[in-house]
Structures are given as structure tokens and as C-alpha cells.
Amino acid sequence: MLSVMGACAEFERRISKECQLEGIAKAKQAGKYQGRKSAFQAAQLQAIRDRAAAGEKKAALAREYGLTRQTIYNILAA
């Protein structure tokens, strides 16, 4: 009995997840789903990239901008 109820719940969850993904896709096409705004301006991001390319340590950049090293690496990868 419990396994049947679990299977039904799993099926319903899968269906609702599909509907959610379809709604997100439609919103993106309409230009209404843009995600979170960047905390930094383009000039700041470019300054981080330039300084890293010049050989400055990532840890020093992270401390200066109040970020983690992983965030610095994500900025450089983008």
C-alpha cells in the first residue's frame, strides 16, 4: 500500500516539475524570466579579469572585492 502511494506521489511530482520547466521556458521566450541581477557592474567585472590576466593573485582580488576565490574563478570563466 505504501509503495503504491509513494509511486503516485513520485509521478505527481514529476508531472508538476515538467509543468514548471515548461512555464519557465515560456517566460524566457517572452523575456520575463531573466534571473538574478548581477551585484557588479560590467566595468568592475572587466577590471577583475584584467587584473587576473596581469598576474595578480586570485585570493588578493577576492579579499579586495569581498568575494570568495570560487566567485573570482566563475567571473574569469564567464
Give the burial class of 72: count Cβ atoms within 10 A of its Cβ; 0-12 exposed, 13-18 middle, 19 or more buried: buried
pTM of the model: 0.54
Given a cut of 90, whether residue 10 has pLDDT beyond it is yes
Q: Taking the CB of residue 14, how many other CB atoms lie within 10 A of it?
A: 10
**How much is the average pLDDT of 40-58?**
91
pLDDT level of residue 6 (50, 70, 90 thresholds): very high
Given a cut of 90, whether residue 31 has pLDDT beyond it is no
Kindly list the domain boundaries of the chain, sorted by start residue.
1-35, 37-78
Percentage, residues of the chain above pLDDT 70: 100
Q: Which residues contact 24 (CB under 8 A, 6 or more apart)?
A: 33
Phi, then psi, of 34 in degrees rounded to 5: -115, -10
**How much is the average pLDDT of 8-33?**
93
